[in-house]
Amino acid sequence: MVSVALFGDQDKPALVTYPDLALNHISCFQGLFFSPEVNSFLLHNFCIYHISPPGHEVGAAPIGSDDLMPSVDDLADQVLEVLNFFGLGSVMCMGVAAGAYVLTLFAMKYRQRVLGLILVSPLCRAPSWTEWLVMSNLLYFYGMCGVVKELLLKRYFSQEVRGSVEEPESDIVQACRRLLDERQSISVQQFLEAMNGRRDLSEGLRKLHCRSLIFVGENSPFHSEALHMTSKLDRRYSALVEVQACGSIVTEEQPHAMLIPLEYFLTGIGLYRPSPRSFFHRKAWA
C-alpha cells in the first residue's frame, strides 16, 4: 500500500515528491518546505502530493515478511495509481536519490503524465557491487543496526553537518537519526532490494523531453552519478546545479540553494507565479 500526504489547494498544478531510502516526506523534504521563501512560492503555485514508499510513511504498520516485494517498475506504477486516484493529469515531479530514480523511471514509462523533473542527487545506473553487497547483507543479517544507520547518514549528509570529535552533529542529522531509530528494517530492506534490482536508464534519457533540473551536493556519494545523468539528458531540456559543501539531501542540508534555480526553472515551464511574500522579500533586498 502506498501512502500520500497532501498539502495545498487541489485546484492548483500538482507537485509529486518521492524520498530517498529509509526516509519519508518529513525527513527528506521538511527543510525545503519549511524554508519560508521556498515554502511560500511552492505552495503558492502547487498542491503537494508527498508519496512515501511502502512502510516508510509516518506511523507505518509493520510489513509482513510474506508480502510481495515490489520492483522499481511496481513503485513507478504506484505513482501512476496515485495520479489516477486523485484525478491528476500531468504533474511536476521532485525526487531525492532513490526517489529520483523512481520518478525518472515513471517519466520514461508515462511521458504524457510528467510536466518536468526536479531531481536531487539522482541515480540512473544499475547498482555497483559494493552498493548491492554491503547494505543488503548488513540489513538482512543485522537489521537497522548502528553500522547501517551510519552508512545511511553518510549517504544523506556531508561531513560538515554530521559532525566530528570537535563539532557536534547538526540538528537535521540528529532528527534523521531519531527517525532511523524508529524505522523498521523490513521496510527499508524491501525498498533497498527494489533499488538493487534497478536497471540502467542511461540509454533512454536522451529521449526524455520533459524539462529536468538536477541538484547535487559536491560531497554526495552520487555526485558522479548526477554528472553522468546530466551528460545523457538532452541539453536543451536539462540543467545541473552543483551545491558546494553539501551532501545528497540538498532539500534538508541547503534548501536555500534551491530557491533561485527553482524559480527560473518553473518560470521557463510557465508554472511560476511570484507569491506576495517572495515579492516583498526581494524588494527588501533590492
Q: Which residues contact 151 (CB under 8 A, 6 or more apart)?
A: 134, 135, 138
Give the integer Cα–Cα distance in Å for 2 and 53.
6
Query: Which pLDDT belongs to residue 281?
Result: 46
> All 3 cell numbers of residue 100?
529520483
Nearest CA to 28 among 10, 5, 11? Answer: 5
Q: How confident is the model at residue 272 (pLDDT cuts 50, 70, 90)?
A: confident
Whether residue 173 is predicted with pLDDT greater than 50 in this model: the reply is yes
Q: What is the SS3 string spanning 5-20?
A: EEECCCCCCEEEEECC
Q: What is the SS3 string spanning 127-152?
A: CCHHHHHHHHHHHHHHCCCHHHHHHH
Q: How confident is the model at residue 279 (pLDDT cuts 50, 70, 90)?
A: very low
* Main-chain phi, psi angles of 41, to 5 degrees: -80, -25
Domain 3-285 has CATH 3.40.30.10: no
Pairing of strands 47-52, 114-120: unpaired
Q: Summarize pLDDT for 213-248 with one digit per residue, the tens.
A: 999 999 999 999 999 999 999 999 999 999 999 999
